[in-house]
């Protein structure tokens, strides 16, 4: 028996599919200088009509900044977050078919940290977050000649996932799906043994499979993959982010390689190092709050 929730999900995905196709068509025909005006308009509509997502963003922002910022400041960050997401979406549609333009749009800072880590020959785990236009980060690295891939959770809509997978492949970006788990681990280890870059975001709720660390003063279930993989393979850990500027150019920032700290037992070692990585992510979110994806229940899982 088909219930109301199934029907709503069906029409929601149909609407998303039509919306993606329509936006792709618009992006193909409008000049580049009009891209961001179109994105701002789409973001305003999304903020107004996507009530559940808007409330989720405001809820998350209040968890993080409720004691530090006024309701007006929080609302502005939420609106700016919608704009940043919309800009990222139209950029992907536009630049995925024009990779030669990426080196003009995206600068790289701290490249020496990445190259020094790669020189060790054990592969590099790029630790990051759903922050800024992170798919553009991988595309820019691939265009620059790096062998780059990312561990990704597939979209619920298989059609849309296949569209974006093909676009990533056109750049030369490898997609490693997070499930099945054994396949994900084996493909990741093989890529690291080939001295490739593997992008792993650790900023979303990881449920019972994660480890709880402090994030904006709250306990957050966090993926442990980067630290466990680094301990197992001796791959380097490098934290990176992509920042959008006022003129809509981007800068990829590589932090110095993170040295793993040891501890009497492996659980404590993983906890210490995941906390260290999470602290860096929080630092960047505090500096560029609209860049992070607040439309997510980061603190959904609770300890115990």
pLDDT at residue 29, rounded to an integer: 62
Residue written as token pair 């400041």: 73
Residue 13, helix vs strand vs coil? helix
What are the tens digits of pLDDT across the range 269-283?
A: 999 999 999 999 999
Domain ranges of the chain: 4-291
Dihedral sign from CA coordinates of 259, 203, 47, 157: positive
Specify the pLDDT at position 13.
56
Query: What gap in Å lies between CA 219 and CA 215, rounded to an integer?
Result: 6
Residue 27 has a pLDDT of 62
User: Quick one: pLDDT at residue 9?
Assistant: 59
Stretches where the chain sits below pLDDT 70 are 1-29
Both tokens assigned to 103: 């080196």
What CA–CA distance (Å, rounded) separates 178 from 204? 13
Handedness of CA 62, 58, 56, 297 (dihedral sign): negative
- pTM, full prediction: 0.91
What are 148-161's pLDDT values in tens digits? 999 988 877 777 77
182-205 per-position pLDDT tens digit: 999 999 999 999 999 999 999 999
Give the up-direction half-sphere exposure of residue 257: CA atoms within 13 A in the CB hemisphere: 19
pLDDT at 162: 81
């Amino acid at each position: 028996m088909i219930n109301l929730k199934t029907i709503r999900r069906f029409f929601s995905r149909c609407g998303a599919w039509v919306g993606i196709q329509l936006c792709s068509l618009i992006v193909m025909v409008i000049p580049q200088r009009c891209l961001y005006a179109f994105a701002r308009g789409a973001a305003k509509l999304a903020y107004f009509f996507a009530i559940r997502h808007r409330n989720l963003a405001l809820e998350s922002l209040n968890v993080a900044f409720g004691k530090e910022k006024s309701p007006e400041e929080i609302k502005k960050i939420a609106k700016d977050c919608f704009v940043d997401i919309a800009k990222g979406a139209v950029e992907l549609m536009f630049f995925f078919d024009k990779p030669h333009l990426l080196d003009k749009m995206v600068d790289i800072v701290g490249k020496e940290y990445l190259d020094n880590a790669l020189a060790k020959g054990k592969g590099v785990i790029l630790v990051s977050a759903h922050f800024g236009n992170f798919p553009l980060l991988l595309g820019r690295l691939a265009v620059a000649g790096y062998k780059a891939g990312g561990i990704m959770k597939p979209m619920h809509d298989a059609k849309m996932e296949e569209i974006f997978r093909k676009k990533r492949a056109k750049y030369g970006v490898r997609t490693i799906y997070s499930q099945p788990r054994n396949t994900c681990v084996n493909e990741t280890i093989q890529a690291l043994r080939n001295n490739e870059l593997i992008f792993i975001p650790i900023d979303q709720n990881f449920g019972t499979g994660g480890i709880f660390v402090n994030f904006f003063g709250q306990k957050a279930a966090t993926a442990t993959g980067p630290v466990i993989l680094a301990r197992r393979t001796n791959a380097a850990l490098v934290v990176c982010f992509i920042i959008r500027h006022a003129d809509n150019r981007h800068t990829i920032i590589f932090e110095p390689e993170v040295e793993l700290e040891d501890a009497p037992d492996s659980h404590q070692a993983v906890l210490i190092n995941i906390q260290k990585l999470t602290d860096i992510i929080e630092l960047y979110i505090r500096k560029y709050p609209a860049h992070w994806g607040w439309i997510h229940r980061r603190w959904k899982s609770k300890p115990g």
